[in-house]
Structure 1
Amino acid sequence: MYDSRQAYVTLEDGTRVNARPELFLGTLTYDFPIPDMKYARPSPYDINSDEVHRRIPKLTNNDDYGSVYVIFKTPRFTENAKWTIHLGEMTVAGQKVAIPPMPLCYHPQKEWIGIEPLMRP
């Protein structure tokens, strides 16, 4: 189980941007977040659920698994920015597992950033 309500990004000036409270599923065609409420699920949510497994993107995920996304409403990310994402913790088999903070790097062509280890069951 993962609860996106605890997630936030620390910007270079030290300000904090909280995640949207919902988690968003990838679509059946492309593996990227769509902030359309029909793809939103309330937190906490089982990111290893059958619903996620069934949503296998046809074009971008090698027919492996579907994905779940945390969305932040942030300013534009520039190449000199030093942001850190804090995703909080997950509950795995009744145990709380902390997710260490991760520095983000600049991706000039992307509108979103995928964090691969969290997308795997």
Structure 2
Amino acid sequence: MTRAMALIALMLAGIPTGALAKDTRFWNLTANTITSLQLSPAGKNEWGRNQTENDPDRTVDHDERLKITDTVPGSYDARFVDQSGRTCVVRNIQVMAGAIFSIEEKNLKDCTK
């Protein structure tokens, strides 16, 4: 019995846990490169840190995906600034662990320049 347990433990230790877990990601489907992206629990206006800091060039190009960190699953408002100088807020986005959420140009109704 002890040998079997040791063999199972050894086999499990060889499985890379990072390969099993998926990252939560944002997919930029707007027309412009995003230079700042913050999330707030829906309706709270308590904006978190700039998620574009997770990207090597600190921007999210059109059709690029960005790893989202320090965010638990739930309903969020997203605020972003893009390279054109536009600031937009998109409300009630569902963020799920290991899933991709996106913002499309057609979702943009609350923007200022």
TM-score interval, smaller chain: 0.3 to 0.5
Q: Which has the higher strand share?
A: 2
Superposition TM-score, scaled by structure 1 size: 0.42
